[in-house]
Amino acid sequence: MKKITSIVLIASLVLVAGCSKFLDRQPLDSASSATFFQTEAEMDLGLNGVYASSFWAFPNNTPLLFAVEATTDLAIKRTGNAEDQIAMGDGGPFLISNSLPSTCWTQAYKLVTRANILLDGMKKGEANVPAASYRRIRAEALTLRAWGYYHIMGWFGDPVFFQKPLAPEEYETISRTPVSQAVAALYTDLDEAAQLFDQAGAAPIINYGRVNKGVALGVKAKLALLISDWSTAKNATQAVITSNQYGLNPRYTDLFILSGQRANANRECMFVQTYPTDVLDPQNWLTVLTIPRQVGTSQSSHFPTQSLVDKFEGIDGKRIDQSAVYNPAAPSLNRDPRLRWTLYMQGDTMVHNTSKTPALPYVQPKERTIFNIYSNVRRKFNWNTNVYDNVPSNIDWIGFLASPWFAGATGSSGGVGYIWRKYNDSTQYSWETKTGYINMRYADILLMYAEAKTELNELDANMFAALNAVRARARMPPVTSGSQAALRQQVRRERAVELAGEGQRLIDLRRWDIYSQANSFPVVGVSLDPNVPAGTPTFDNNDIPNYTASVPKRLKTRVQTRTNQNPRYKLWPIPQGELDKNKNLVQNTGW
């Protein structure tokens, strides 16, 4: 691991020393890219630089795609932060200067630019490198470039599309390319990548954190879904499925801890943003950012929403408004097990590793706390007595609003009564976590296949098998029939609950054209009084919950209403600095 880490860091310096903005960067398309990549070692160094640019992060050691998730209906960021301003829409306000879109633009184009430099420069050294190595390196770079462009198009629409290093004057004159044209070009790249992986004899998983043929086909499917090209999405995912090289990890929770990712049972993890274990930085602070305030050394700034909670079915396989086993007075019982695997609810036992050394009586070094929002005590396990103590003062208590610090799990700047469990890896010290962030896994492949088949109205055994494989892992009953419209909602709900917190939701909502409806609602949460249940929401034809009838009984300390009906919110704005440098760039409509 040390060798890989060093190469990544060196490549990062070699390939992208310079300014942080895409249009500021001077291209390396002459002497350096033409002469540097002459050997296999140099090409591998360059490829590691491309991988380094696919390591996307937002401030506070947050994986960038996790930050993006907080702009959707499934998640909340602490009030006033960039993600919260985007999610609020008109009420944010969401301005062109928002730091999240500009960070996404910069990091995605950094990846594209580095891939272009490598792909162009390595041609000169092809004769010096074993054919299999050359093909593998080129295939990985093509796949990573397509990965970057997929997100650019999902976030911003028509991309600034280029497949070679640009001369300085081209940076100031290049215009945008329609999404359909860019996708067609990337199809060609990914078909070539898949063929090159085969010719190179690449393994199903080349190495932890690297892409392969399965990822290339998965990215192709994602691009196809972006433009509703259902046949291509079906064929690409079917190729991954019938390769018999991947499967589902039998333990869902193992996907989100480092040891489980390294073991990678059935190779479910296909592409992971990895964190080096031989150096302190970088770290993944997902655990730190989601630990509630009633636990020591927390930051609690990212939270699940009520909308996410209510998407999890009853254990009978029915949506909660249709389920015979759902009880609003005991909302955590008789539910899809992924609900409790994804987030913590009132009464759940949380385990966090909050210290490197024991700090008795409550840290050994793990800290066990029963999640409590309904009284002003923290229920903490005493390692000396082996019982839970009631410790005074609980910032996450609903009645704590007299305090000036409102960022707890129920505060006016915090959450609505729920805490993330996903990616809480208690096997590691929370401030130095090295758990990878999953970019693609096999469950996503199965669900993309099921979606494509549903949209094609091919409601056959293969479609149901893909959908039900994901459900069976969660011990949920199979879906065996339904109209195309009903199955469309079933597949979409399955994507929400299976992939929550994994950075998929924003692009899903946009390509389904329901972002404005799904992300316009009063920010409400748990029942204010557990003895007076808030009741069950109603759902519209797009599976979007409505809380109008129950708002008076629900937690609403944030006093927020998300308002995203303005058509401009269908896409993010291009950063103003890019428009200032290139007058041929046209801003997205409404911005």
pLDDT digits (tens, 9 = 90+) for 48-72: 999 999 999 999 899 999 999 999 9
The per-residue pLDDT for 21 is 42
Mean pLDDT of 247-256: 98
The per-residue pLDDT for 458 is 98
- pLDDT of residue 320 exceeding 80, the answer is yes
The one-letter amino acid at 161:
F
- pLDDT of residue 401 exceeding 90, the answer is no
Mean pLDDT of 164-174: 90
User: Bridge partners of 157?
Assistant: none
- If you ran DSSP here, which 8-state letter would residue 490 be given? H
Burial (CB count <10 Å: 0-12, 13-18, 19+), residue 157: middle
| 14 band by pLDDT with thresholds 50, 70 and 90 | very low
**Of 304, 233, 151, 223, residue with least CA distance to 447:** 233
> Percent of the chain having pLDDT more than 90?
89
Per DSSP, the residues of 311-359 read: TSPBTTSS-TTT-SS--TTSTTSSB-THHHHHEE-TTPEEEEE--SS-B
Give the Å distances, CA to CA, from 408 to 30, 49, 198, 399, 521.
Answer: 53, 39, 51, 11, 21
Element (H, E) at 414: none
| 305 band by pLDDT with thresholds 50, 70 and 90 | very high
Contact 104, 71 (CB under 8 A): no
Contact 171, 582 (CB under 8 A): yes
Q: Which residues contact 363 (CB under 8 A, 6 or more apart)?
A: 296, 354, 355, 383
pLDDT digits (tens, 9 = 90+) for 434-476: 999 999 999 999 999 999 999 999 999 999 999 999 999 999 9
- pLDDT of residue 13 exceeding 80, the answer is no
Contact 67, 77 (CB under 8 A): yes
- pLDDT of residue 12 exceeding 60, the answer is no
pLDDT digits (tens, 9 = 90+) for 530-545: 999 999 999 999 999 9
- pLDDT of residue 508 exceeding 70, the answer is yes
Residues in the chain, overall count: 591
| 5 band by pLDDT with thresholds 50, 70 and 90 | very low
pLDDT digits (tens, 9 = 90+) for 307-318: 999 999 999 999
* Gap between the Cα atoms of 487 and 458, Å rounded: 11
The pTM score is 0.94
Burial (CB count <10 Å: 0-12, 13-18, 19+), residue 382: middle
| 171 band by pLDDT with thresholds 50, 70 and 90 | confident
Contact 362, 370 (CB under 8 A): no
State residue 236 phi and psi, 5-degree precision. -65, -45
The per-residue pLDDT for 406 is 79
**Of 57, 88, 91, residue with least CA distance to 73:** 88
Per-chain mean pLDDT for the chain: 92
